[in-house]
Structure 1
Amino acid sequence: MSEMITADLVDLDLSADTKEAAARALAERMVTLGRVTDLDGFLADVAAREAQMPTGLDGGIGIPHCRSAHVTEPTLAFGRSAAGIDFGAPDGPADLIFLIAAPAGADDAHLTILSSLARQLMNAEFTSALRSVDDAGAAAALIRGDSSPAAAAASDGTQEATDSAAAPAGTASSDAAAGSTAPVPGATVEDGPAPAPGATGGEDARPFRIVAVTSCPTGIAHTYMAAESLENAGRDAADVEIVVETQGSAGFARLDPAVIAAADGVIFAHDVPVREKDRFAGKPTVDVGVKAGINRPAELISEVRGKAERGEVTAGAASPGSPVERVGDSGEGYGTKLRKWLMSGVSYMVPFVAAGGLLIALGFALGGDNGYLVAKMPSVTQHFDWGQIDSWGALSFQIGVAAFGFLVPVLAGYIAYGMADRPGLVPGFVGGAISLTINAGFLGGLAAGLIAGATVLAIQKIDIPPVMRGIMPVVVIPLISSIVVGFLMFVVIGKPIASAQKGMTDWLNGLSGANAIGLGVILGLMMCFDLGGPVNKVAYTFATAGIAVASPSDSAMKIMAAVMAAGMVPPLAMALATTVRGKLFTETERENGKAAWVLGASFISEGAIPFAAADPLRVIPASMAGGAVTGALSMAFGASQRVPHGGVFVVPLMGNPFLYLVAIAAGVCVSTALVVVLKGMRKQAPGGAAEPAGAPISAKADSKEPVAA
């Protein structure tokens, strides 16, 4: 990082009291040096990144960062706050703040700075020196790695400082943790470092070998902090070798298979699924959240050693593991895990719904005036006329029906996959197929998936003799779990679920008048509340579940139409608002508004996220109001849609398309008017008062042109 930070980019007396003000103060230094070309545009990008996930880390550290088109070269600025600034860390305010700026598209530079800094921050001497250093130049040199922590702490001109400065930089100076005695990824055990102190080199005295994988949702800071923490703990232990594979945002370098084969234990410290987890099968395994790898690495090493000594290598530990079950902190509640399991199934099911729905709708469209007869035509294997458009319509319809036939099995199979990984696929698909056989439908698929996953997890907890482990995932687990799931679905719970499915279908078919309009309002509010978040997905899943059959009811298709229409409102409204009242928005937001036209028209609600992140108190209520209006009007007009995606591009395939567009236009106008009024009220604040405390960092503090708060 020799050119990324200089003394001019260091503020040892940062007086800001909010994260927005801190980012602005440090960004102004970047502007002065020509590293940032548009202060407010850059700060808007920082705010958007901060809205995705807090950048505060344990230990009093804040790392706001982003990639931005307004950055000319990778840059790092540092500020030290005496009072502390809240960056959302669980343990309180941050006194060490690092603002990282990278040019748009410069992923390598961005991740290199972050990963290097994250590793340095695990060095207590490094952070202690930053808290005590009195000279900006010394602080910059320390962060660059040009001096050691001891030299920076003693940078008062004494001879000791001079002597220390001549010493090589410590491990905090390099992303690769220079000087580490841990073996590097890709090295074989034979080519690795010398045995730990006290080891004689013989087989009986060789160190305990551990391989570890660290990962976090963003794949940046916590990933490398956990890796550094585990490596440090391994060096501190007398007879431990540890090699860490960091699975970051820019991909990962796989550990050498020889290193994995020679390992005595495995540590997974992760908040997202470990990629290619089956490489570590058959080893004593400790599986925790990434923060545990940062906060208690020595305990994890002791725990995996204990498992190895006791021979605790169960089928569950040896299997590839669940891609969903252990996502998040170890204390994550069952309700959160359940939602993730269900969404795993839904995410795999939706493409089948989209493909099948589009093909069926296309079949009806090709049928023209006789489109309704397409569904009753014989199989195209028996009769297909190349010159008849009806035959092509029948072909499209029948392919779509075939795709729909996979919906419930895929849903059940991938719910089980989310719980128990690949061993859950067979019983999950079997349970889903049985659900179709007994007419238990979508609800039956949900139950079958959960039962299949739970059954596999229960089997994996059984202590299996080593001789049996090889056939467990391919023979024993699929056989036993399929028998259990099949018995429960056919004999025990299948009929009650089928009755519940029929009851729900009858209820939807009976919706009319005020009941239907009220449902449209609720669905519209949900679709616009978090713009692609969990609440949005619940409404969308409810709608797709209704049409995920070969012959959905009219009510189900009306619900799908209302959900799609409401989801299009927020980005279209923000695009319109930036067009009619551009002065209320920053230059960056006006550029985002151009893209929002296409995103909104394509039914991508996330197109409004940059606006909501910068100004949630104005954008989200306005979006919800417009979504409620659109949902209600769509239901009132009787617009119907059997295709779960596509936005305005599938309008010709739906019922009452003109009134459907009217409903969308009405909601867009309502949201646009509200957001313009709300932002205009701020513009006309008496006396030209400054922005209220807590206004996001995209606001122009000294400009006459109001922007998004």
Structure 2
Amino acid sequence: MELVDILTQDNIILNLKGNNQAAVIDELVNKLAENQLTNDAERFKKAIYKRENEISTAVGYGVAIPHAQSESVTKPTIIMGRTLPGIDYGGQHTNLIFMIAAPENASNEHLSLLSQLSTFLMSETFRAKLIVATSEAEVIKAIQEQEKLQEPTSDEESVSGKYLVGITACMTGIAHTYMAAESLKEAAGKRGMKVKIQTNGANGPENKLTAADIQKADAIVIAHDVQVDASVLRGKRYVDVPVKKAISHADQLIDQALSYNIKENNVDEPAMEDKPEPEEKSGLNFYKHIMSGVSYMIPFVVVGGIFIAISFMFGIYAADPESDQFNVFAQFFNQVGGEAAFALMVPILAGFIGFSIADKQGLAPAMIGGMMASIGGSGFLGGMIAGFVGGFAAKFIGKSMAKIPKSFQGLVSVLIVPLISTFIVSAFMFFVLNTPMSMLNEFLEGWLKGLTGINAAILGALLAGMMASDMGGPINKTASAFGLAMFAANIFEPSAALMVGGMVPPIGIALATTIFKNRFTIQEAEAGKASYVLGASFITEGAIPFAAADPLRIIPANIIGAAVGGALCMAMDISLKAPHGGIFVIPIASNKPLLYIGCILLGSFITCLIIGFLKKPLSEKERNNAKQMSNII
């Protein structure tokens, strides 16, 4: 099978009509549906936007590669779109858009072909051919010619005598992984260097690095947006950057990696330990470690909350075999949600904090420490601390034993490190932390449960306002962490206020674009339609483009509307047993769903009215100007 079998002439649009990112994505998805390559276009589009919200797929060079795997895709496919005037895609001027669609069960061969296109696009000549092509047939011809030119570079003789190795890994393992690898290969090839890049793609690691590769390496570059196993590097210094930096600045990264002189310097010397480069992992990025744990924990929270809420639909005591209300299905849902999913929340949080700090060696001790926190009553906060203690203990012990003979290294990693670090974190939790932390948790729980009236309203306003303030930033994450801690303690009112804070901004802005159309450009009005869906789904990011364009008006409006909704929500003792999911979970997870929806709508209307009052009407010319993004003070 060849690339042209999945990028066929009828999958090419040489003259895209859309003049913005959303319109172009719609056009490409419609082509996918028109060619019967998806059985649910909206579902696939959501998968595309989920990927875009994680990190933009604009990769520079005038190219964007939106991509997703979805059960709605019937056949691995690439849809190509070209716009000669160009559009703003993820903040970058873009002319060529390749939408990669892969089914969940795509074969290795298909995924390799999809990834092959990414490497082709690193060629300036190939991109130029696509830009000047006058027909779909010329595009296909350019691809076929590029396939003939493409040759592996990893086994080429080194002219300079230098050897570059590396690992690339993006979130989906389809596009950016291979573009970064190709960029590094091309930059190294121009220097006459021998190259080997391990690509952690959707098929798993390919071109895997060996101990011999690391021993011979003169420079190492790791470009990744997800966790990679760097144990093969065995303590060598390396450049550690996001994937996009490798795509755009490969030459600079190779210069930096060569400057480490890893063949001449021993990284185990104290001098090397004392002078880590800013790009390298220092193990002290607390925010990243916490978010890593939270991201793995959230699915357990959501599933557990929804299943418990379903069990209550059969009756408050329907899960209890001793009750007259007993129902076996209620018992089933309660056991899955409360006894399984909720029981795993804190250990999963701690385990993946430890994994973020010390890779695989940190997982077991941190997770066991998290279970100790759960058993001992120190809960969410105790689990976070257990994750750090277990992770750093494993990291320190592993480094301390780096000089042990290689024949014993296997024993060190599977027995000695986990055994000692587990003892350390378990003893710390049992003898030091659990008792005072459980007392603190009991105090907080009692204080929160005792909040009524104005005090509850103030807390609700504060949480919702923080949630709406920076829409995914550190203030937002701080409020979310507090809500998750309370959720783990079976206090569900803060979760309701937080979801109000996340839903109000996009819905309020969407209402403003509908009611006060003359305050927005045509482009903004179109984007506002999507904000209805994003807001209803608790995807606050739908408000970000508007807030970025006009922060002095939009952000205060978002905070005020969210704070009012959150205050009313907590003042009326509204709870939510599923902290994510938006409108889809409210009917079953909230104790007062109609009142809750009313709080969200009231907050949204307040945001809408404030925006309408603060923003000035635009002239017809300004409204039709696609580049106009509102009057910023």
Q: TM-score, normalised by structure 2?
A: 0.71
Instruction: Tell me which residue corresponds to 1:670.
Output: 606
What is the one-letter code of the residue matched to 1:213? I
Instruction: Tell me which residue corresponds to 1:338.
Output: 286
Could you report, residue by residue, the CA deviation over 1:474-504 in whole angstroms, capped at 9, with x for unpaired residues? 1121111111111111123332322322232
Task: Give the drift of 1:421.
Answer: 1.5
Could you report, residue by residue, the CA deviation over 1:63-120 in whole angstroms, capped at 9, with x for unpaired residues? 676579x995265879xxxxxxxx99xxxxxxxxx93223473687995686335999
Task: Give the drift of 1:389.
Answer: 6.1
Instruction: Tell me which residue corresponds to 2:412.
Output: 472
Query: Structure 2 vs 1, CA of residues 601 and 54 (structure 1 numbering), >3 Å: closer, same or farther?
Result: closer
What is the one-letter code of the residue matched to 2:467? M
CA distance in 2, matches of 1:259, 1:421: 18
Which one of the candidate residues 416, 422, 428 is aligned to 1:488? Answer: 428
CA distance in 2, matches of 1:456, 1:110: 41
Instruction: Tell me which residue corresponds to 1:288.
Output: 240
Instruction: Tell me which residue corresponds to 1:37.
Output: 17
**2:239–2:257 contact (8 Å) kept in structure 1:** no
Could you report, residue by residue, the CA deviation over 1:654-689 in whole angstroms, capped at 9, with x for unpaired residues? 22333222211211111111223333x1427xxx99
Instruction: Tell me which residue corresponds to 1:541.
Output: 481
Instruction: Tell me which residue corresponds to 2:141.
Output: none
Could you report, residue by residue, the CA deviation over 1:340-369 in whole angstroms, capped at 9, with x for unpaired residues? 1011111111111111111212212211xx
CA distance in 1, matches of 2:221, 2:301: 35
**2:229–2:359 contact (8 Å) kept in structure 1:** no
Q: Does 1:211 align with 2:201?
A: no
Could you report, residue by residue, the CA deviation over 1:18-51 in whole angstroms, capped at 9, with x for unpaired residues? xxxxxxxxxxxxxxxx945354678999xx9999
Query: Structure 2 vs 1, CA of residues 257 and 53 (structure 1 numbering), >3 Å: closer, same or farther?
Result: closer
**2:372–2:430 contact (8 Å) kept in structure 1:** yes
Q: Give the secondary structure class of the aligned counterpart of 1:366.
A: coil
**1:227–1:293 contact (8 Å) kept in structure 2:** no
Instruction: Tell me which residue corresponds to 2:106.
Output: none
Task: Give the drift of 1:228.
Answer: 4.5
Which one of the candidate residues 165, 184, 209 is aligned to 2:152? Answer: 184
CA distance in 2, matches of 1:470, 1:648: 50
What is the one-letter code of the residue matched to 1:656? K
CA distance in 1, matches of 2:436, 2:580: 32
TM alignment of 1:586-665, pairs within 5 A: 586-653=521-588, 654-665=590-601
Task: Give the drift of 1:269.
Answer: 3.2
CA distance in 1, matches of 2:16, 2:332: 57
Gaps of 5+ in 2: 1-13, 26-48, 67-78, 102-113, 133-144
Instruction: Tell me which residue corresponds to 1:392.
Output: 329
CA distance in 1, matches of 2:308, 2:626: 48
Q: Give the secondary structure class of the aligned counterpart of 2:99.
A: coil
CA distance in 2, matches of 1:468, 1:118: 52
Q: Give the secondary structure class of the aligned counterpart of 1:405.
A: helix
Q: Does 1:193 align with 2:146?
A: no
Task: Give the drift of 1:581.
Answer: 3.7
CA distance in 2, matches of 1:537, 1:503: 23
**1:230–1:297 contact (8 Å) kept in structure 2:** no
Could you report, residue by residue, the CA deviation over 1:96-150 in whole angstroms, capped at 9, with x for unpaired residues? xx93223473687995686335999xxxxxxxxxxxxxxxxxxx89x99xxxxxx
TM alignment of 1:112-261, pairs within 5 A: 115-117=122-124, 184=152, 192-194=155-157, 196=159, 209-214=163-168, 228=183, 232=187, 236=191, 241-245=194-198, 255-257=206-208, 261=212
Question: Whose radius of gyration is greater, 1 or 2?
Answer: 1
Q: Give the secondary structure class of the aligned counterpart of 1:306.
A: coil
Task: Give the drift of 1:572.
Answer: 1.9
What is the one-letter code of the residue matched to 1:99? H
Instruction: Tell me which residue corresponds to 2:513.
Output: 578
**1:586–1:707 contact (8 Å) kept in structure 2:** no
**2:538–2:582 contact (8 Å) kept in structure 1:** yes
Q: Give the secondary structure class of the aligned counterpart of 1:115.
A: coil
**2:122–2:183 contact (8 Å) kept in structure 1:** no
Query: Structure 2 vs 1, CA of residues 260 and 464 (structure 1 numbering), >3 Å: closer, same or farther?
Result: closer
CA distance in 1, matches of 2:58, 2:538: 33
Q: Does 1:105 align with 2:99?
A: yes
**1:570–1:668 contact (8 Å) kept in structure 2:** yes
Q: How many residues are aligned here? A: 543
Q: Does 1:428 align with 2:366?
A: yes
Q: Give the secondary structure class of the aligned counterpart of 2:585.
A: helix
Q: Give the secondary structure class of the aligned counterpart of 2:220.
A: strand
Task: Give the drift of 1:472.
Answer: 2.2
CA distance in 1, matches of 2:585, 2:256: 56
What is the one-letter code of the residue matched to 2:554? V
Q: Give the secondary structure class of the aligned counterpart of 1:194.
A: coil
Q: TM-score, normalised by structure 1?
A: 0.64
Task: Give the drift of 1:409.
Answer: 1.0
Query: Structure 2 vs 1, CA of residues 616 and 304 (structure 1 numbering), >3 Å: closer, same or farther?
Result: same
Could you report, residue by residue, the CA deviation over 1:323-382 in whole angstroms, capped at 9, with x for unpaired residues? xxx9x95278877x1011011111111111111111212212211xxx1x346545xxxx
Q: Give the secondary structure class of the aligned counterpart of 2:591.
A: coil
What is the one-letter code of the residue matched to 2:334? F
Task: Give the drift of 1:418.
Answer: 1.2
Aligned-residue Cα RMSD (Å) equals 4.8
CA distance in 1, matches of 2:311, 2:55: 44
TM alignment of 1:321-336, pairs within 5 A: 330=279
